[in-house]
């Protein structure tokens, strides 16, 4: 557009100049030749204008081709490579851009160095994660056998009729702690399996409505001991089936319902109910408990993380349950998420699973 405008202005100036000089030029010709001179001048203006336009068009094509080859196309390739790397982490090889302007060539080199450094950091993190997983797995396996032996010994000792009431209480307490340690070791082994890709699933068609109803009833005793009202809000007759690992889903729901009861003060309520949305069966666990502070919500699914108010309420716990639960949910093609209870204090955890097709 700039060249076309320049050409038009130049042609206009030539035309104005010729008109301005026309009378003076005619003085050089005899009167009988004035008409021929006027026609000749007009033809000259047209010819020069056509030549000027053709020259401008050729110049525009050359400039456009040069700019596209040296600047526009290389920049487009760099931007596409950046976008792919940002969205997928995959590297798109760039062609040789040494023929481009210095700035474009420098940009390509900087991007190349950036991707190299990101890949190196990623490889380093993966190696650290592998070493850590191997250590956790080895340590957990080494601990499980002696801990199981200690638990059996304490269970046998607890049955000794010669123990005094105080001794029996100490043995019972030690036995309970050994159970907690064995459970923790099992959780560490689960973490190791997850991070090494060895966490196995056995999928089957599952009537989740009936399943959740039965699980809720299993927690009735814990709810009564905690003076918390626990109930399942129906829906078991009409819910669609899902394809899931029954044992793993039970582990998730056990974790959610037990946490809801333990973190709900006496007199509170835990309500379990189901909905269907966007081809997903959603199991909700809503409590009127202590809730999750806003500043802790972004970390709640991180490994070993426990919110300060949760530690104050229940000192036991290793901060791994929700991390494992969400991993299981995503491995099923679903998700595990939460939001504050909109009707008052507490939290609503939602397990989403794809409906069986």
Mean pLDDT of 2-15: 58
Q: Are 60 and 3 in contact (CB under 8 A)?
A: yes
Range of weakest confidence among 171-185, 235-249, 304-318: 304-318
Percent of the chain with pLDDT over 90: 8
Q: Residue 306's pLDDT band (boundaries 50, 70, 90)? A: low
Residue 50 has pLDDT above 80, yes or no: no
288: CATH: 3.30.565.10
HSE-CB of 240 using CA atoms within 13 angstroms:
16
Could you say which of 28, 55, 88 is where a domain stops?
88
Examine residue 125 and state whether it is found in any structural domain, yes or no.
Answer: no
Strand order in the sheet with 280-287: 229-232, 269-277, 280-287, 347-354, 335-340
Same domain, 346 and 232: yes
Residue 245's alpha-carbon distances to 53, 67, 138, 248, 273, in angstroms, are: 75, 59, 26, 5, 20
Mean pLDDT of 140-161: 83
Residue 23 is encoded by which pair of tokens?
Answer: 């009378």
Residue 219 is encoded by which pair of tokens?
Answer: 């927690």
What is the rounded CA–CA span in Å between residue 314 and residue 347?
16
Q: Residue 350's pLDDT band (boundaries 50, 70, 90)? A: very high
Could you say which of 65, 88, 111 is where a domain stops?
88
Give the SS3 label for residue 243. strand
Residue 238 is encoded by which pair of tokens?
Answer: 């009409």
Q: Residue 351's pLDDT band (boundaries 50, 70, 90)? A: very high
Residue 221 has pLDDT above 80, yes or no: yes
What is the rounded CA–CA span in Å between residue 83 and residue 64?
26
What is the rounded CA–CA span in Å between residue 240 and residue 280?
9
Task: Classify residue 337 by its DSSP letter.
Answer: E
Q: For position 336, what pLDDT does the model report?
A: 92
Q: Which residues pair with 337 in a beta bridge?
A: 350
| 349 sits in which H/E element | strand 347-354
Residue 131 has pLDDT above 60, yes or no: yes
C-alpha triplet 142, 144, 149: angle, nearest 5°: 115
Same domain, 208 and 348: yes
Same domain, 183 and 321: no
Examine residue 107 and state whether it is found in any structural domain, yes or no.
Answer: no
Same domain, 148 and 47: no
Same domain, 320 and 344: yes
Examine residue 34 and state whether it is found in any structural domain, yes or no.
Answer: yes
Domain count, the chain: 3
Backbone angles phi, psi at 85, to 5 degrees: -65, -40
Same domain, 240 and 261: yes
Per-residue exposure over 243-279, b if at least 16 CB sit within 10 Å of its own CB, e if not: ebbeebbbbbbebbbbbbbbbbeeebbbbbbbeeeee
pLDDT in tens, 256-290: 998 899 889 899 999 999 888 888 889 999 998 88
Examine residue 124 and state whether it is found in any structural domain, yes or no.
Answer: no
Residue 193 has pLDDT above 80, yes or no: no
Count, residues in the chain: 357
Same domain, 149 and 41: no
- Residue 183: which domain range? 132-196
Same domain, 164 and 239: no
Examine residue 104 and state whether it is found in any structural domain, yes or no.
Answer: no
Examine residue 292 and state whether it is found in any structural domain, yes or no.
Answer: yes
Chain mean pLDDT for the chain: 79
Range of weakest confidence among 163-177, 183-197, 277-291, 336-350: 183-197
Mean pLDDT of 39-68: 74
Examine residue 117 and state whether it is found in any structural domain, yes or no.
Answer: no
Q: Residue 7's pLDDT band (boundaries 50, 70, 90)? A: low
What is the rounded CA–CA span in Å between residue 89 and residue 118?
9
Examine residue 190 and state whether it is found in any structural domain, yes or no.
Answer: yes
Selection from 183-192, 232-241, 270-279 with the highest mean pLDDT: 270-279
Give the SS3 label for residue 98. coil
Q: Residue 135's pLDDT band (boundaries 50, 70, 90)? A: confident
Same domain, 211 and 333: yes
Mean pLDDT of 192-221: 82
Residue 63 is encoded by which pair of tokens?
Answer: 């400039």
Same domain, 169 and 243: no
Helices marked H in the chain — which ranges? 2-26, 34-67, 73-88, 102-158, 165-196, 208-218, 220-225, 246-262, 308-313, 321-331
Residue 176 has pLDDT above 70, yes or no: yes
What is the rounded CA–CA span in Å between residue 12 and residue 34?
23
Same domain, 186 and 217: no
């Amino acid at each position: 557009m700039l060249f076309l405008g320049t050409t038009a202005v130049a042609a206009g100036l030539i035309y104005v100049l010729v008109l301005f000089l026309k009378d003076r030029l005619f003085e050089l010709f005899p009167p009988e030749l004035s008409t021929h001179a006027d026609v000749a001048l007009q033809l000259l203006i047209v010819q020069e204008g056509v030549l000027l336009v053709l020259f401008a068009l050729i110049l525009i094509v050359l400039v456009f081709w040069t700019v596209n080859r040296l600047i526009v196309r290389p920049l487009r390739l760099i931007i596409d490579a950046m976008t792919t790397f940002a969205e997928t982490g995959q590297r798109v090889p760039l062609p040789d851009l040494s023929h481009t302007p210095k700035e474009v060539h420098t940009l390509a080199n900087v991007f190349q160095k950036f991707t190299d450094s990101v890949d190196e950091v990623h490889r380093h993190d993966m190696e650290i994660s592998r070493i850590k997983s191997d250590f956790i797995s080895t340590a957990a396996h080494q601990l499980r056998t002696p801990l199981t032996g200690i638990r059996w010994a304490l269970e046998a000792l607890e049955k000794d009729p010669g123990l005094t009431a105080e001794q029996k209480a100490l043995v019972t307490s030690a036995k309970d702690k050994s159970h907690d340690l064995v459970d923790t070791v099992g959780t560490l082994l689960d973490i190791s399996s997850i991070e090494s890709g060895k966490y196995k699933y056995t999928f089957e068609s599952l009537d989740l409505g009936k399943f959740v109803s039965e699980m809720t009833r299993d927690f009735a005793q814990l709810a009564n001991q905690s003076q918390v009202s626990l109930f399942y809000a129906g829906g078991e007759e009409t819910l669609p089936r899902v394809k899931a690992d029954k044992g793993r889903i039970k582990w998730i729901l056990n974790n959610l319902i037990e946490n809801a009861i333990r973190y709900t003060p006496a007199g509170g309520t835990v309500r379990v109910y189901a909905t269907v949305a966007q081809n997903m069966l959603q199991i909700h666990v809503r409590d009127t408990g202590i809730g999750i502070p806003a500043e802790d919500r972004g970390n709640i699914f991180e490994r070993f993380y426990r919110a300060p108010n949760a530690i104050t309420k229940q000192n036991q716990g290793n901060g791994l349950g929700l991390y494992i639960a969400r991993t299981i949910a995503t491995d099923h093609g679903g998700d595990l998420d939460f939001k504050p209870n909109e009707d008052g204090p507490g939290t609503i955890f939602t397990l989403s699973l794809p409906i069986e097709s």
